[in-house]
Amino acid sequence: MLEEAEHGSWTYCVDLAPEDGKRKTRRRGGFATRAEAAREMKAVLNGELRGVYEDRRVTVASFLRQWLAVKKEELAPNTYVGYEACVERDLIPAFGHYRLPDLRPKHVERWIANQRKTKRGKVTVYRIVSTLRNALNAAVRSWGLRYNPAKHSVPPRPRAEERTCWTPEEAAAFLRYNAECYADQLTDLFEVMLGTGMRRGEVLALHWTDVHLMDRKLYVRWTLAAIDNGEIHLWEPKTEASRAWISLSPRVMTALHRQATIQMNAHPDGRLEGLVFARPGGTPLRPQWVLDQLRKRTVELGVPRIGLHDLRHTAASIMIAEGIPIAIVSKTLRHATLATTINLYGHLFKGSADQAVNALARALDQAQTGQFRALPRGDDDLPLAA
C-alpha cells in the first residue's frame, strides 16, 4: 500500500511473512516521489520472496561502521584497530558514498588499479581489500546482499619475507652478553623467549599464578597487546592451540628462579604475585621499549638485527637444525595445525629432504641389484621380471 503524507513525501506499507505466529508489517516513509516509494516496496516484496532484501538507503559507509561495531566485541584489540584503520582511512573515502546494493566489482578493481599506479604496498592493498571482502561477506550471510562484489577482487596474498634468524652461536652469544653486561630482568625475559619459543605478548602477559616451577611447566593463558604503542590490554590467546602448557628447560628454570627470588625479596610479605616481567610498580612492560632494548643490545654485540618475534623464529630454527621432528616443533610452538609450521619453516628442512631422497635412492639401488620374483598372475600376464 502507498500513501502520501501531508508534507508531500510518500510512504509504503506491506505485510510480510508472520514470525512466531505474529503479523509482521514493514512501514517506511520519507520518499520524495510515489515512484521511489513504489520501487522500494517492490524491492521489499522481491526480497521477501527470494530471501534477500537489499536496502537501498544503506550506504557502504554506514554498513561498514555497523560491521565494525559488531566486530569490536569479537576481535583482539590490535586486530580491531587494524580493521578500523582500513575502514576509516581507505574504504569509506573510496566506497562510502555508494549505496550498498550499487557497489560493483568494477569499483573495487578500479580502486586497486589506482593503488598500483601510486605504488602502494602490496601487503597494504591486500589487507584493505580483504577487510572489504570480509565485511561484505557478513552482508551476504545476513541476506542484505545477493552477492559479494569484492569476492573475486582480492589480489593474491603477497609472499611473506623470509625472517632473519640467529644461529645457535649468535643466540648463545646474545644471552651471554646480556648476563655479563646487564644482568637485568630483560636478560631473563630473552632467555625465556629463546628457550620456549613463546610469543612476545605471551611472555609480557605471563603471571606467576601460571608458572609451576615444581613441575617445570608454565601455562599460556594471556597475551598482551599495546594499541598504537599506547593503551595496553590483556587478552586471551587468539587460538585454542595457543592456550597450552609449556615445558621448561634447566636454563629457563634458572631464569625464572632468579626473577622469583628478586620479586619475593622485594615484596613485603615475600610473596609472588602479578606479572613475571613488569615495571617496578607491577605494570606491564611496554612492547616497544622491550624491542628498543633488543635492538640496542644487538647493535652493541654486533649480531644481526632482528625483532622480538624473530626470537620465536630463532627458537624454531634451532629445534629444526637439531633434528627435532616437525610434529614436535609444531606442538612446542603451539601452532593450530601442522601445516602452519610447515608453511613457516618448510625452507629450513633442506637437510631432511636430502635424507629422504638419499634413502629413496638407496632403496632403489638395493632393489635393482637383487632378483625380482614374479607374483602369481593370470596365464595371459607377462612376468614382472626374469
pLDDT above 50 (res 219): yes
Q: Which residue has the cell 613475571?
A: 276
The three cell numbers of residue 61 are 559507509
The pLDDT of residue 353: 62
Residue 264 to residue 378: CA distance in whole angstroms? 82
Pairing, β 231-235 against β 245-247: unpaired
Q: Which residues are bridge partners to 40 per DSSP? A: none
Residue 103 CB coordination number (10 Å): 21
Out of 1-5, 23-27, 118-122, 336-340, which region has the weakest mean confidence (pLDDT)? Answer: 1-5
> What pLDDT score does 383 carry?
46
Q: pTM for the full model?
A: 0.73
- Contact (Cβ atoms closer than 8 angstroms) between residue 334 and residue 244: yes
Per-residue confidence (pLDDT) for residue 382, from 0 to 100:
45
CA distance 340 to 284: 30
Quickly state the pLDDT bin for 96 (edges 50, 70, 90).
very high
Q: What confidence category does residue 378 fall into, taking pLDDT thresholds of 50, 70 and 90? A: low
Per-residue model confidence (pLDDT) at position 384: 42
Choose the most confident range, by mean pLDDT, from 83-97, 146-160, 319-333.
83-97
What pLDDT shows up at residue 64? Answer: 97
The pLDDT tens digits of the residues spanning 151-160 come to 999 999 887 6
DSSP readout, 265-328? HHSTT----SBSSB-TTSPBPPHHHHHHHHHHHHHHHTPPP--HHHHHHHHHHHHHHTT--HHH
Tens digit of each residue's pLDDT (9 = 90 or more) over 127-153: 999 999 999 999 999 888 888 999 999
Share of the chain above pLDDT 90, in %: 56
Q: What is the pLDDT of residues 36-82, one digit of tens each?
A: 777 777 776 666 655 566 777 899 999 999 999 999 988 888 889 89
H helix runs in the chain, sequence order: 34-50, 60-71, 77-85, 92-95, 105-117, 122-141, 168-181, 185-196, 200-204, 250-266, 287-301, 308-321, 326-333, 338-345, 350-369
pLDDT at 351: 63
Percent of all residues in the chain with a pLDDT value above 70, rounded to a whole number: 85
State mean pLDDT over 274-279: 95
pLDDT (average), residues 80-87: 93
Angle at 249 between CA 247 and CA 254, to 5 degrees: 120
Supply the pLDDT for residue 386: 38
Per-residue confidence (pLDDT) for residue 272, from 0 to 100: 86
* DSSP-derived secondary structure for 47-85: HHHHS----TT-BHHHHHHHHHHHHTTTS-HHHHHHHHH
Q: Which residue has the higher pLDDT, 207 or 11?
A: 207
